[in-house]
Amino acid sequence: MSFLNAVINKVEDEVLNEMLQERVDLVQHKIKFMEKVSVACLDTENHLNCDLEGVINDAGGILQADMNQARVIIYVEQGASMLGMMGVVPSLLQKEWPAVEYNRVYLLDDQAAAAATPQEWVALLEDIVEMLYPGYFVFGNEGKSWSSFGV
């Protein structure tokens, strides 16, 4: 059972449970035949952040500690907004990292990453899957809860 399915199973409201499960099923069905994406989730000191590993796995990602192997980098820091990270992240990037070379660096808003309710976890899944598979998913939260960071 996936991380998100376990979260959704705790929802007692049957209508809400079904709606959330449909959103997760849509994502999981679509990524079933896609290649897994290696992802590094970092804080603003370039330390690996494993807090989102479950939802990253459900979004088709594999958490990667080696920046030279990661095809996508997601920066997230508790208490740091996307705007705040925009001033910090450029000095943290190494041009030889594949994610930097292919312009696959993203900033995730700290409020989105602080998911506490099942609805917030499903929204976070949608945000992350949109980052991992651009063009395949469009949920409309780019610029709100996450942002592509052009390098």
Give the domain CATH number at 74: 3.40.50.1980
Please compute the mean of the pLDDT values over residues 106-114 and round it to a whole number: 89
Quote the DSSP letter at residue 40: E
CB within 8 A of 112, min separation 6: which ones?
A: 120, 123, 124, 127, 141, 145, 146
Region of 103 on the Ramachandran plot (φ > 0 left; ψ -120 to 50 alpha; else beta): left
pLDDT for the residue 114: 85
Number of other CB atoms surrounding residue 96 within 10 Å: 9
Which three-class secondary structure string do you get for 67-120? CCCCCEEEECCCCCCHHHHHHHHHHHCCCCCHHHHCCCEEEECHHHHCCCCHHH
Its domain, for residue 110, covers: 3-148
pTM: 0.92
pLDDT for the residue 111: 85
pLDDT tens track for 1-56: 588 888 898 899 999 999 999 999 999 999 999 999 999 999 999 999 999 999 99
Q: Number of structural domains, the chain?
A: 1
d(C-alpha 102, C-alpha 41), whole Å: 16
